[in-house]
């Protein structure tokens, strides 16, 4: 006969007699049930098994639960005696369960700590020190060159008004020059700037009629290009000088000084006629090839020259819109791609290398 069967028989007998006559029998049943539970708990070899035993004793259909349900069959006089016996048994079992659960929890934590333990005597991984990106290095070098000859660094907005990005630079809405720059429009009035040239118009607006205007403006620009020599986002630097008696000779002298500082004192430059809506006359600027010294090689497509930037004299209409009298004031402007300068200086043939964050490439600089 199982303990539960014995317990049922005991409670049936209580209906006829008082608890006092069967107290020893009750204590025997409870003690045996308690010892059996304690033994099962002691022999459990996992937290899962302990939880299962706990449910078997105190769960909805557990042994202790079933015994407590029969309390209603006992008289009011006998109920305190029965309750005391069962309560003492419950406390003993619960204490054992709690100790076993804590044991397995601590064991599990110890295993976790051992698994995650770091052997501090092992050699550590080599940490590579970070350094400036080649684009940053070139940009800082360019700004330093112009800073030393009196140019002030001015920055502008990457999200620009169509008015400043195009119209103030002599490029009205129906102008065919807009087709030269495939732009990212946010709405009809706002555009991701296609060049840093809007900075020159905004600067002139702020300081007119003050002279001279002598600024250098670095920043990101955006165009719908994406191949080995073009990127949809790249860095540009715009230069502007406005004053009285400024000539094309001043522009050429400035660019010769700059390019020799960047590429070497032995370099020469040449200017080819070109067209930009905001300058007149306009010129593309080439620098002599450093690989062949200008004699012609694969790098320069056997021409002896490398295209480097665009430039020109500020268009009279641009000066007028800024509030200057073009008969009294002249100016020159130039714009260059920082990536283009870096590619020529470091002999890099793919612009995408600048943006891949490959340490094998970056640590060379």
At 70 the pLDDT is 65
* pLDDT score recorded for residue 140: 96
Q: Which pLDDT does position 207 carry in this prediction?
A: 92
Query: Would you call 307 exposed, middle or buried from its count of C-beta atoms within 10 A (0-12, 13-18, 19+)?
Result: middle
Same domain? For 99 and 189 the reply is no
Q: Is the same domain home to 206 and 278?
A: yes
pLDDT digits (tens, 9 = 90+) for 230-267: 788 999 999 999 999 999 999 999 999 999 999 999 99
The candidate with the shortest Cα–Cα distance to 236, out of 185, 181, 186, 274, is: 181
For residues 241 and 249, is the Cβ–Cβ distance under 8 A? no
- The span from the first CA to the last CA of the chain, in angstroms, equals 87
Same domain, yes or no: 104 and 184:
no
* Alpha-carbon torsion angle 37, 42, 45, 46, nearest 10: 60
Phi, psi of 276 (to 5 degrees): -135, 135
Same domain? 105 vs 154: no
Pairing of strands 159-161, 184-185: unpaired
Q: Among 32, 84, 108, 23, which residue's Cα sits nearest to residue 63?
A: 32
pLDDT score recorded for residue 71: 65
Contact residues for 282 (Cβ-Cβ < 8 A; gap 6+): 273, 274, 275, 276, 310, 311, 312, 313
CB contact at 8 A, 343 and 349: yes
Calculate Rg over the CA atoms of the chain.
44
Q: Token pair of 293, please?
A: 């010294």
Q: Identify whether 290 is part of a domain.
A: yes
Greatest distance between any 2 Cα atoms in the chain: 128
Domain range for 33? 3-116
Transcribe 128-159 into DSSP letters. Answer: PPP---HHHHHHHHHHHHHHTTTPEE----SE
Q: Give the chain's count of helices (H) and strands (E).
A: 12, 10
Same domain flag for 51 and 159:
no
- Contact at 8 Å (CB) between 336 and 236? yes
Residue 139 within a domain: yes
How confident is the model at residue 73, as a pLDDT? 62
Give the residue from 131, 152, 163 showing the smallest Cα distance to 210: 152
pLDDT truncated to tens, each residue of the chain (365 aa)? 444 555 555 555 555 555 555 556 666 667 777 777 777 788 888 878 888 877 777 777 776 776 666 666 666 666 676 677 777 777 888 888 888 888 888 888 888 888 888 788 888 788 777 788 999 999 999 999 999 999 999 999 999 999 999 999 999 888 776 765 678 889 989 999 999 999 999 999 999 899 999 999 999 999 887 666 678 899 999 999 999 999 999 999 999 999 999 999 999 999 999 999 999 999 999 999 988 888 888 888 899 999 999 999 999 999 999 999 999 999 999 999 999 999 999 988 888 899 888 888 888 88
Question: Phi and psi dihedrals of 74, rounded to 5?
Answer: -95, 145
Residue 121 domain-assigned (yes or no): no
Token output for 312:
């020109």
Note the pLDDT of residue 19.
55
Question: What per-residue confidence (pLDDT) applies to 1?
Answer: 42
Q: Are residues 86 and 200 in the same domain?
A: no
* DSSP single-letter state for residue 299: T
- Which pair of structure tokens corresponds to residue 16? 């006829």
Residues 112 and 138 placed together within one structural domain of the fold: no
CB 104 within 8 A of CB 47: yes
Q: Which two tokens stand for residue 197?
A: 């040239």
Q: In sequence order, what are the residues at sequence separation of 6 or more whose Cβ sits closer than 8 angstroms to the Cβ of residue 229? A: 343, 350, 351
In a domain, 94, yes or no: yes
For residue 60, being part of any structural domain is answered with: yes
Give residues with Cβ within 8 angstroms of 89, minimum separation 6.
30, 31, 33, 34, 64
Q: Say what the pLDDT of residue 3 is.
A: 47
Q: What CATH number should be reported for the domain holding residue 332?
A: 3.30.930.10
- So what's the pLDDT on residue 127? 78
| CB 361, CB 257: distance < 8 Å | no
Residue 126 lies in a domain: no
Query: Tokens 């340490």 appear where?
Result: 359
Nearest CA to 197 among 174, 230, 173, 163?
163
Query: What DSSP state is assigned to residue 121?
Result: T
**pLDDT value at residue 10:** 55
- Rounded to two decimals, the pTM is 0.65
Instruction: Determine, yes or no, domain membership for 129.
Output: no
Report DSSP state, residue 224: S
Same domain for 141 and 233, yes or no, is: yes
């Amino acid at each position: 006969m199982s303990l539960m069967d014995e317990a049922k028989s005991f409670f049936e007998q209580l209906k006829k007699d008082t608890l006092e006559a069967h107290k020893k029998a009750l204590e025997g049943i409870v003690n045996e049930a308690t010892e059996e539970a304690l033994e099962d708990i002691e022999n459990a070899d996992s937290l899962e098994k302990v939880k299962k035993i706990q449910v078997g004793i105190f769960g909805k259909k557990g042994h202790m639960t079933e015994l407590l349900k029969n309390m209603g069959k006992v008289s009011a006089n006998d109920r305190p005696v029965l309750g005391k016996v069962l309560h003492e048994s419950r406390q003993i079992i619960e204490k054992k369960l709690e100790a076993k659960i804590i044991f397995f929890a601590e064991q599990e934590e110890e295993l976790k700590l051992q698994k995650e333990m770091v052997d501090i005597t092992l050699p550590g991984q080599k940490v590579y020190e970070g350094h400036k990106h080649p684009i940053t290095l070139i940009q800082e070098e360019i700004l330093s060159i112009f800073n030393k000859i009196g140019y002030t660094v001015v920055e502008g907005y990457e999200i620009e008004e169509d008015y400043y990005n195009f119209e103030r630079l002599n490029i009205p809405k129906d102008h065919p020059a807009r087709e030269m720059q495939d732009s990212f429009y946010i709405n009809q009035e706002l555009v991701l700037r296609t060049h840093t040239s809007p900075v020159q118009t905004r600067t002139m607006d702020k300081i007119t009629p003050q002279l001279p205007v002598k600024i250098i403006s670095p920043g990101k620009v955006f165009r719908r290009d994406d191949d080995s020599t073009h990127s949809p986002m790249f860095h540009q630097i715009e230069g502007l000088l406005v004053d009285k008696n400024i000539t094309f000779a001043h522009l050429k002298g400035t660019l010769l000084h700059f390019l020799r500082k960047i590429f070497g004192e032995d370099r020469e430059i040449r200017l080819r006629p070109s067209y930009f809506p905001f300058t007149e006359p306009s010129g593309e600027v080439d620098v002599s090839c450093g690989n062949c010294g200008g004699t012609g090689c694969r790098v320069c497509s056997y021409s002896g020259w490398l295209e480097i930037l665009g430039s020109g004299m500020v268009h009279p209409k641009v000066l007028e819109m800024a509030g200057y009298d073009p008969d009294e004031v002249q100016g020159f402007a130039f714009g260059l791609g920082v990536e283009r300068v870096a590619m020529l200086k470091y002999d890099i043939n793919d612009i995408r290398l600048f943006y891949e964050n490959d340490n094998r490439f970056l640590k060379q600089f």
